[in-house]
């Protein structure tokens, strides 16, 4: 029997059909693997950048522990940041530090430090001498320099000293921020004649207060950002707010805050951040005082030790 003209030989299409099936299977496998990685990435982002920060900023409804803590005395009750102070009261104002190394002519955004993160290149950090309530001494080993944070309180006031240590010639942008957490408290507008070296405020918990920055660097190294709306910002988004507002100062080849109020030019503020570009092997002193008590100033290194029993971390 003759084979019809144009008909393929028996079994000629089996190879191509098998190859097509394998190609489809490989594509399905690739899509599945990609979906798994996307799901894992989304879960990681949600857990670390949405869920956990939300827990940190959310005020707990649990009853207060009977630790006999003075609600107006500041301490290092912000263990999730490299350096931060607050009182034990849930509506306490927040003080904290954000920093990064100035990149110079490099336009790449440098690593910005705020939250404690083991995956961002910090070689080591932790309190070497502290009691958590009256004083503390800490050394933070960044990638190319060391940062020391010392603090001590006196009554309802406190004084902190931040110093840079390195053999390289560069500057570190230190961003000190103060955040109000209740509706009745506020920060006064910055006095430009004071060259950003102090600001005042009122706290329903602490009364009238003044935050002062003592440093030998020139006023050109100072810049600020303030939130002038009536709503206090989310404490978990401070770093992102600072990064978003940072501008390039091409004249001085540095990154700096924009020297403006977000939300308008009028009204009292709930958030103030002041940046100081500090050279290496230099220090700055920050103090908090109220109407009844004045903070210690020009504190010697040996004085950053409390009177109570301390521990070595």
pLDDT per position as a tens digit, 44-69: 666 666 666 655 555 555 555 556 78
Burial per residue of 80-94, b for 16 or more beta-carbon CB atoms within 10 angstroms, e otherwise: ebbbbbbbbbebbbb
In angstroms, rounded to a whole number, what is the distance separating the alpha carbons of residues 175 and 278? 10
The answer to whether the CB of 183 falls within 8 A of the CB of 177 is no
Q: Is the pLDDT of residue 275 over 50?
A: yes
Tens of pLDDT, residues 8-29: 555 555 666 777 777 778 888 8
Which residues sit opposite 148 in a β-bridge?
139, 163
Supply the pLDDT for residue 57. 56
For 151, other C-beta atoms within 10 Å of its C-beta total 26
Residue 32 class from Cβ within 10 Å (0-12 exposed, 13-18 middle, 19+ buried)? exposed
- Can you give the pLDDT at residue 65? 56
d(CA 150, CA 101): 20
* Residue 238 pLDDT level (bands cut at 50, 70, 90): very high
Q: Please, what is the average pLDDT of the chain? A: 84
Q: Which of 108, 267, 288 is nearest to 206 (CA)?
A: 288
| pLDDT tens figures, 120-157 | 889 999 999 998 889 999 999 999 999 999 999 999 99
Q: 306 or 112: whose pLDDT is higher? A: 112
> By C-alpha distance, which of 17, 173, 158, 35 is closest to 102?
173
CA within 13 Å, CB half, 224 = 23
The owner of tokens 């070689």 is: 123
Please, which residues bridge with residue 86 across strands?
Answer: 75
Ordered DSSP codes for the chain: -PPPTTPPPTTTTHHHHHHHHHHHHHHHHHHHHHHHHHHHHHHHHHIIIIIHHHHHHSPP-SPPP-----TT--B---TTBSSEEB-SSTT--EEEEEEEE--TT--SPPP-B-B--TTSS--B--EEEE-SSSEEEEEEE-SS-EEEEEEEEETTEEEEEEEEE-SS--EEEEEEEEE--SSS-EEPPP-GGGTTSEEEEEETTTEEEEEEEE-SS-GGGEEEEEE-SSSPPPGGGHHHHHHHH-EEETTTTEEE--SEEET-SSS-BSEEEEEEEEETT-EEEEEEEESS-----S--GGG---SS--B--
Q: Which pLDDT belongs to residue 229?
A: 66
Percent of the chain with pLDDT over 90: 54
């Amino acid at each position: 029997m003759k084979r019809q003209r144009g008909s393929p030989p028996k079994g000629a299409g089996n190879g191509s059909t098998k190859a097509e099936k394998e190609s489809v299977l490989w594509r399905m496998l690739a899509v599945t693997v990609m979906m798994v990685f996307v799901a894992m990435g989304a879960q990681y982002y949600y857990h670390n950048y949405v869920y956990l920060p939300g827990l940190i900023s959310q005020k707990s409804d649990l009853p207060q522990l009977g630790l006999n803590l003075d609600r107006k005395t500041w301490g290092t009750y912000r263990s999730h940041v490299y350096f931060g102070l607050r009182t034990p009261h849930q509506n306490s104002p927040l003080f904290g530090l954000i920093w990064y190394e100035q990149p110079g002519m490099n336009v790449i955004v440098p690593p910005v430090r705020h939250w404690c993160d083991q995956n961002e290149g910090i070689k080591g950090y932790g309190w070497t001498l502290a009691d958590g309530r009256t004083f503390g001494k800490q050394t933070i080993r960044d990638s190319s320099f060391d940062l020391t944070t010392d603090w001590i309180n006196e009554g309802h006031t406190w004084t902190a000293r931040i110093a840079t240590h390195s053999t390289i010639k560069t500057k570190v942008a230190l961003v000190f921020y103060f955040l109000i957490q209740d509706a009745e408290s506020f920060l006064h507008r910055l006095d430009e004649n004071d060259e950003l070296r102090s600001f005042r405020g009122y706290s329903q918990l602490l009364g009238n207060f003044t935050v002062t920055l003592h440093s030998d660097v020139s006023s050109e190294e100072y810049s600020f950002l303030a939130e002038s709306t009536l709503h206090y910002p989310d404490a978990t988004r401070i770093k992102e707010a600072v990064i978003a507002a940072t501008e390039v100062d091409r004249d001085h080849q540095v990154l700096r805050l924009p020297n403006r109020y977000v939300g308008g030019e009028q009204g009292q503020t709930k958030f103030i951040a002041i940046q100081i570009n500090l050279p290496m092997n230099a220090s700055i002193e920050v103090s908090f005082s109220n109407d009844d008590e004045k903070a210690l100033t020009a504190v010697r290194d040996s004085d950053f030790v409390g009177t109570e029993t301390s521990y070595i971390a």
